[in-house]
Amino acid sequence: MQPIFKKTLNLALGVFLGLTVFFSLLPLSTWAATLLNGGFNNPFNDIPGRVWQGQNEKIAGGWNYFYIDANTYPGSGNASKLRWMSSAQFAAAFNGLDYYQEGDQAQNMWSSYEFDGGVYQQVSATPGEGYIFDIDMVTYWRGPGYPDSDGKMVKQVGIDPYGGIDPTSANVIWSNTNSNDKAWINMAVAAAAEATTITVFAKVQAPENNSFNHTDLDMVYFEDARINTIGPPPTTNLNAVANGLSVNLNWSGSPASSWSIKGYEVEYKDQAESNWTTLQSKSGTSTSGNFIGQATHSYTIRARTWQTDGSIDLPGLWVEKSVTINEVVAGQVINHAGLGLSGVTVSVSGWATSTVSANGGFYGLASGPGSFDVVANDFNGFVAPPTTTVAVPTNGVGVLTITLRPTGIDQGISNNDFEPDLSGWNRNDNTAATASTNSSHTGQRSLWISKTVNISQTGAVTGMRNPLLSFWYNSDTDFTVQFLGAGLGSGSIQQQAVSPVQTQTLNSVSGWTHVMVELNASKVYTGDIGVNFSYAGASGANIFIDEVSIATGPYKIYLPVAFKN
Ligand SMILES: [Ca+2]
Ligand SMILES: [Ca+2]
Ligand SMILES: [Ca+2]
């Protein structure tokens, strides 16, 4: 198809040039994009700062050179082994053929080292219009005298529809590659202009040729480039709606007449970050999808339809949508040791809809604004905390960390949640420690310590590996927690009076905070075990404690692990 196509373009260009003279007093056609010196003919310009054996390297008028540092030797050293010359300059320098196909010159580029570079030009364009850029290119791996070596030097052309000049930009739409050595190849790429300037690139990537003393030159010629309109690009519709943490998407597109749909390219990014994540690449034909975001985060989603005529692919303009994840109950499901639990069902009491915690335990449940009674399912022998009322503000998020803990014989104490009273707990002043509705992490109540007191509970466990005390607290003053055991390494199954094995002072905090304390006893513990909270200070303290657990810990806790909500 390519040769026929090229003739058509030549004809069209000729007609256009004729008309340009005729209509020279009229405003420029709104669709025209004019490439300067597409033939890479004289005059050539010296490239400032690029000198080879006393002569300036040269670039065809209208064009600029570029190279990609990472793939060019020496990329960080101004690519000093990569040269751009006119075909006449190269012929004179090496006593060879002035090799061009059209007009009076071509653009030559050469190196005897690894390179990735080429030429580019910025072109005025009409936003929304579809353009095709094509150019003839030929490579000579290790020079014309070396055997035809397909697969070594890789040709590619690109368009940045935003007019940028960075060949490594993700904005650049690149053609397929061609690595047919020692043959003129017409390369083409199409894009719809996103701005009033677009940039066309033609490049060749060549690996190191390992010739002795770097005597073999890898050569490239650029010749006979054109840019033309190619008719309207496809249109795209995109819908994006958040449901819980899931951003649900669907899209569709319409090709221009005589084109057909190739696929839909869909990407999204967190607006706090710069990188786009690909949800579907250009050949994908699905028309819906979703991704899981984070509560309170805003996302930009973009989609563009690709159409094809069987030989060239033309993408449409990006269509963008913005979505913020809010009006959800959101947080993390963790175990008593602070590790995220995935697969736990979280729901609003009385609602048919629910969600399941994802990787890391993160969950989000679409709620709308209001107050909601949130409950999680028990999971893998872990028991969920009681139903908890969560307030979700308009355009905001209600946060709840849901802590599941071992139960039954795997749990060292009882009445962990202080619902509805302090049964099972021993205190030395009944007025100083109460089960209060003033504050709770989950459920309706927590342990409220308001003045000097000791409150403790002791249980017995058998064969508990690495006992771990954990709880949530929220306090406006310092207090002390003691993890009680029968002594280090006793190994005895006889009942012994417990005593403090670990003592920690907890400081005032500004919100509910998760705490974990290891007993640091024998790896497998059998015997009495317990916890004592004590406060000695002024009356009127607001020390709230909830969800107290003594259960097996992980083999290793990576501290600090503090959760706030
Ligand atoms: Ca030429
Ligand atoms: Ca070949
Ligand atoms: Ca509670």
Q: What is the pLDDT of residues 393-430, one digit of tens each?
A: 999 999 999 999 999 999 999 999 999 999 999 999 99
pLDDT of residue 484: 95
pLDDT of residue 71: 96
Q: How far is the CA of 25 from the centre of ligand 1 (A)?
A: 29
**Residues above pLDDT 70, as percent of the chain:** 90
Q: How far is the CA of 384 from the centre of ligand 3 (A)?
A: 11
- Burial of residue 320, with CB atoms counted within 10 A of its CB: 0-12 exposed, 13-18 middle, 19 or more buried: middle
| pLDDT at residue 5 greater than cutoff 70 | no
Q: How far is the CA of 99 from the centre of ligand 1 (A)?
A: 9
| pLDDT at residue 559 greater than cutoff 80 | no
Distances (CA, A) of 245 to 229, 248, 342, 384: 43, 9, 14, 21
Q: How far is the CA of 63 from the centre of ligand 1 (A)?
A: 13
| pLDDT at residue 10 greater than cutoff 90 | no
Q: Which residues sit with Cβ closer than 5 angstroms to ligand 3, an ion?
A: 417, 440, 443, 546
Q: How far is the CA of 226 from the centre of ligand 1 (A)?
A: 12
Q: What is the pTM of this model?
A: 0.75
pLDDT of residue 522: 60
**Mean pLDDT throughout 543-563?**
72
| pLDDT at residue 29 greater than cutoff 90 | no
**Mean pLDDT throughout 276-284?**
97
Q: CA angle, 501 as apex, 495 and 502 as ends, to 5°? A: 150
- Which stretch of 255-259, 395-399, 553-557 has the lowest confidence by average pLDDT? 553-557
Question: For residue 188, what are the contacts with CB-CB under 8 A and spacing of at least 6?
Answer: 2, 5, 132, 133, 134, 135, 157, 175, 312
Band the pLDDT of 48: cuts 50, 70, 90.
Answer: very high
For the chain, first and last CA: distance in Å? 63
The ligand placed nearest to the CA atom of residue 225 is 1
Q: How far is the CA of 157 from the centre of ligand 2 (A)?
A: 18
Q: How far is the CA of 540 from the centre of ligand 1 (A)?
A: 90
pLDDT of residue 16: 42
pLDDT of residue 90: 97
The ligand placed nearest to the CA atom of residue 547 is 3
Band the pLDDT of 76: cuts 50, 70, 90.
Answer: confident
- Please give the Cα distance from 373 to 391 (Å, whole number): 9
- Please give the Cα distance from 64 to 84 (Å, whole number): 10
**Residues above pLDDT 90, as percent of the chain:** 83
Q: How far is the CA of 9 from the centre of ligand 1 (A)?
A: 16
pLDDT of residue 33: 78
Cβ 521 vs Cβ 488: under 8 Å: yes
pLDDT of residue 468: 95
Cα Rg of the chain, angstroms: 36
Q: How far is the CA of 553 from the centre of ligand 3 (A)?
A: 22
| pLDDT at residue 488 greater than cutoff 60 | no
pLDDT of residue 496: 56
pLDDT of residue 291: 95
Per the prediction, the chain carries an average pLDDT of 91
Q: What is the pLDDT of residues 497-531, one digit of tens each?
A: 789 999 999 999 999 999 999 998 667 899 999 99
**Mean pLDDT throughout 426-454?**
97
Q: How far is the CA of 69 from the centre of ligand 1 (A)?
A: 28
- Which stretch of 105-109, 294-298, 424-428, 539-543 has the lowest confidence by average pLDDT? 294-298
Q: How far is the CA of 74 from the centre of ligand 1 (A)?
A: 29
pLDDT of residue 31: 63
Burial pattern 543-554, b for ≥16 Cβ within 10 A else e, equals: bbbbbbbbbbbb
- Please give the Cα distance from 425 to 490 (Å, whole number): 26
Q: How far is the CA of 377 from the centre of ligand 1 (A)?
A: 73
pLDDT of residue 524: 87
Please count the CA atoms within 13 angstroms of the CA of 403 that sit on its side-chain side: 25
Residue 164's nearest CA partner among 208, 123, 222 is 123
pLDDT of residue 28: 46
pLDDT of residue 384: 97
- Please give the Cα distance from 112 to 25 (Å, whole number): 50
DSSP string, 400-452: --EEEEE-GGGBS-S-TT--SS-TT-EES-TTTEEEESS--SSSS-EEEE-SS
Q: Residue written as tokens 């009033």?
A: 196
Q: How far is the CA of 72 from the centre of ligand 1 (A)?
A: 26
pLDDT of residue 487: 58
Q: How far is the CA of 416 from the centre of ligand 3 (A)?
A: 8
Q: How far is the CA of 118 from the centre of ligand 2 (A)?
A: 20
SS (H, E, C) 222-259: EEEEEEEECCCCCEEEEEEEEECCEEEEEEEEECCCCC
pLDDT of residue 553: 87
Q: How far is the CA of 219 from the centre of ligand 2 (A)?
A: 14
